[in-house]
Each structure stands twice: as C-alpha cells, then as structure tokens.
Amino acid sequence: MRNIELQNALDRSMSGLQFREEMKAAAALVCTALLFTALAAGPGIWSLIQEHLGPRAPYATGAAGAVRDQGIEFGAAAALADRNTVRVSPFGIWRESG
C-alpha cells in the first residue's frame, strides 16, 4: 500500500515535467562520461586499496561469476570482505562479437 501511495505522489509531482531532446542528450552524455571515468579510475583505486590492505591483500578472492545481459558481460576480478566492508576490484565489460 505504501509503495502505491509513493508512486502516485511521484507521478503527481513529475506530471508537469517535459524534457527537451537537448536535455535528454545532455543527461545521457553526463552518464556516459561518469561511467567511463569510473572505469578508467578503477585500476588505480584497486591498487590503492591493495596498498591499504597491506599484508591482507593476498586474501582477496578471485570472483568466479559474471553477469551477461543483451550481449554484454560484466564481471569482477577479485573481492575482499570483512564484517563491515566489501571491496571489489575493477570489473571488466565484454561485448559478444557477432
């Protein structure tokens, strides 16, 4: 019941918004730039995490799984977790050829 009320309130508050094509294109461009920035920063961040882990770095476990959707596969290289934190290494994105 609460979700329906929230959805109705959101629909009412957003009903007057009209997005121009330029705004849609700008939003898509910003999202793409953020995605590629995150992917480019991943290896550097992972090496900083490994330096921070120090002697515990070898305990990082290689991730065995990946997710595939619409011909694109996403996968993590390694992960390390304790009670409070999960750290995942930079992930890869692969596209099926053909």
Note the pLDDT tens digit of each residue in 73-87.
Answer: 777 666 666 666 666
Instruction: Output the CA angle 73-74-78, nearest 5 degrees.
Output: 135
Confidence check: pLDDT of 7 > 80: yes
How many structural domains is the chain composed of? 1
pLDDT in tens, 8-21: 888 888 777 788 89
**Range of the structural domain that residue 51 is part of:** 2-95
Do 90 and 42 contact (CB within 8 A), yes or no?
Answer: yes
Q: Could you report the per-residue pLDDT of 19-44, keeping only the tens digit for each? A: 889 988 999 999 999 999 988 888 88
Structure tokens at 67: 């997710």
Q: How much is the mean pLDDT over the chain?
A: 76
